[in-house]
Amino acid sequence: MTNRIVIPFASNRAAPVRKRFFLRSAPAMVSILSVILIGACERATEQSPQAEVTPAVSVDKALPSAPASPIETVRACHVLRNEGQLRQAAEMVVPERRDAVLDLLLSVDRLTIANRELERAVRERIGAATATVFSRPGVANIIGVFSRDVEMVSQRVESDRAEVTIQVASRVPLERVSLVRRGGIWLIETDPPVPGLSKEIRNLAAALADVARSVRNRPWTADELASEIRSRERGILRRISELIAESNSAQAVARSDGSAAP
């Protein structure tokens, strides 16, 4: 597995930009999950006890009833997602990808809830200090434009196609969201879904929920808990990496044959 270092972006200098934004890159997506999930366990062991380019609009402005620009569309989708209006957020995606996006959002939310339950169980049964070590709020920021902490940077428009540059959770490289205008409406155009990905994320959520129940039912040391979580997560992360790699290969073949998935 290739690890990508996740660092804060704290300057006004131009930052690298990663093309596309969805969960298509096995190294990027899985390494972020690994840093968030397994990384917390490692800390527990160590610490035991010619286009027009325009700037982003202010996030304080009220949402328009119908987003008039690509960047407003992405921003409106982000607001709906954070308000828990997942179906409405998915409506801002091209129709052929909406079901897959909604399924992924529901799966990631389940993972976020399971992680929160685990942290609560650790705090109650082991202690606040250990719970802080196992805290992994970054789980909510693993799906690009649909992440919890997203800032709009700029937009680039060419006729009926556009790209909005965003920053997720202060990370670099920045990410580009593709949009297409259909019937006068800007819609987010995600990559094709990765078959089986949502299921494995739900499996990951179930594993964390099971560990949370175990923490409530018997005594654990921080080292034991870190080892248990690592053993539960690694196999699932490996399968996620394999699914993404297989899907990417299939898409590459489809593109070479001129029959890429819609």
Q: In this predicted model, what pLDDT tens digit does every residue of 142-165 receive, in sequence order?
A: 999 999 999 999 999 999 999 999
Given this model, what pLDDT does residue 137 score?
82
Asked whether residue 208 carries a pLDDT value surpassing 80, the answer given is yes
Please give the model's pTM, rounded to 2 decimal places: 0.76
- Average pLDDT value for residue range 172-194: 94
Query: Of the given ranges (60-64, 165-169, 247-251), which has the lowest mean pLDDT?
Result: 60-64
pLDDT given at position 52: 46
pLDDT class for 65, splitting at 50, 70, 90? low
What pLDDT, on a 0 to 100 scale, did the predictor assign at position 42?
52
Contacts of 218 (CB under 8 A, 6+ apart): none
